[in-house]
Amino acid sequence: MDHTSIKKERIPYEILISKLNSWYTTIKKNMIEEAQKKKSEIESLLEEVEMKQDVLLYYQLLDFRHELMLIYLRSKDVEEVRNTYEILKEKEGSLSKMLEYYFFFFMGMYEFRRKELVSAINAYSLAETKLSEIEDEIERGEFYFKVSEVYYYMKQTYFSLSYAKRAIKIYQKYDIHDERILHCRFIVAGNLIDTLNYNSAIKELKKGLQDAFKIGKKNLIATVR
């Protein structure tokens, strides 16, 4: 039998999206091993099925985000994903509104890792114009957290505080995001210290210590202390 003549089967659109969303969730939680397993599963699937163009673009964007996670957690050189960045840049203008959000959001993260803070904020600002396309409230919290992080490093204190507090408000609705709340508290406390508001910063860090004990990770407890 001529295997080259066998058509790729088209599996239900919803199943592909579900698998991609699940992969993205593990990436956001910095679960390296689990994210890699899900990525490998999806890559095997790509060899067997015919994918719609927008689903393929979503996969490419998540693959880029996966690499950004590894850069952050394993101190890899951000320029290692430069080629992927250039390939994705060529897709700009051909994306749906939802994918445009992810495109600009991930580009902002990339620029932040390169310490190009103004470029990062510019990308995040474009992503924010597409945020209404995102129904997942936790994803909105993720966006606010990342923006607060850049503004903190830019010493744009009040912008940073505003976004961090918006993120915390969302995360507090979901028990599984305690670690993200703690990271937001670090940003809030840092901004309060920058404004010489030491008493409020200490109060925020005490809340952070409670969060760290709740999470149960010794490195986070040590960091807060």
Span 161-209, pLDDT tens digits: 999 999 999 999 987 778 889 999 999 999 999 999 999 999 999 998 8
Closest CA to 154 of 201, 122, 198: 122
Question: Does 129 fall in a domain?
Answer: yes
Q: Are residues 124 and 167 in the same domain?
A: no
Q: Are residues 97 and 196 in the same domain?
A: no
CA distance 167 to 146: 9
CA distance 37 to 122: 33
Q: What CATH number is given to the structural domain containing 40?
A: 1.25.40.10
The residue from 134, 169, 199 where one domain ends is 134
Burial class (CB in 10 A: 0-12, 13-18, 19+), 196: exposed
Q: Which helix (H) or strand (E) holds 45?
A: helix 32-46
Q: Are residues 112 and 36 in the same domain?
A: yes
Question: Does 203 fall in a domain?
Answer: yes
Range of the domain at 66: 1-134
Name the pLDDT band for 133 (thresholds 50, 70, 90).
confident
Residue 128 has pLDDT above 50, yes or no: yes
